[in-house]
């Protein structure tokens, strides 16, 4: 299941232009996101994509906004 969650989430992020975001998950549906985006709207979008990915139960969001 871990690989499936990571694969789905990475594919969704890449499709929407967030290919620089790193995704790590475990077998319990816990996901860690890390990387950098250009604005807070993009950070919110990345989090929304993760929240709506089937199988994701908890998110550690370490996505930073360029300042």
d(CA 42, CA 7): 20
Q: What is the pLDDT of residue 3?
A: 77
**Which of 13, 21, 5, 18 shows the shortest CA–CA distance to 55?**
5
Q: List per-residue pLDDT tens for the chain, 67 residues long.
A: 667 999 999 999 999 999 999 999 999 999 999 999 999 999 999 999 999 999 999 999 999 999 7
């Amino acid at each position: 299941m871990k690989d499936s969650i990571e694969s789905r989430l990475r594919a969704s992020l890449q499709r929407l232009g967030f290919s620089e975001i790193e995704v790590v998950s475990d077998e319990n549906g816990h996901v860690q996101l890390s990387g950098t985006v250009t604005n807070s709207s993009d950070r919110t979008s990345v989090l929304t994509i993760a929240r709506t990915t089937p199988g994701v139960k908890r998110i550690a969001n370490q996505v930073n906004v360029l300042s």
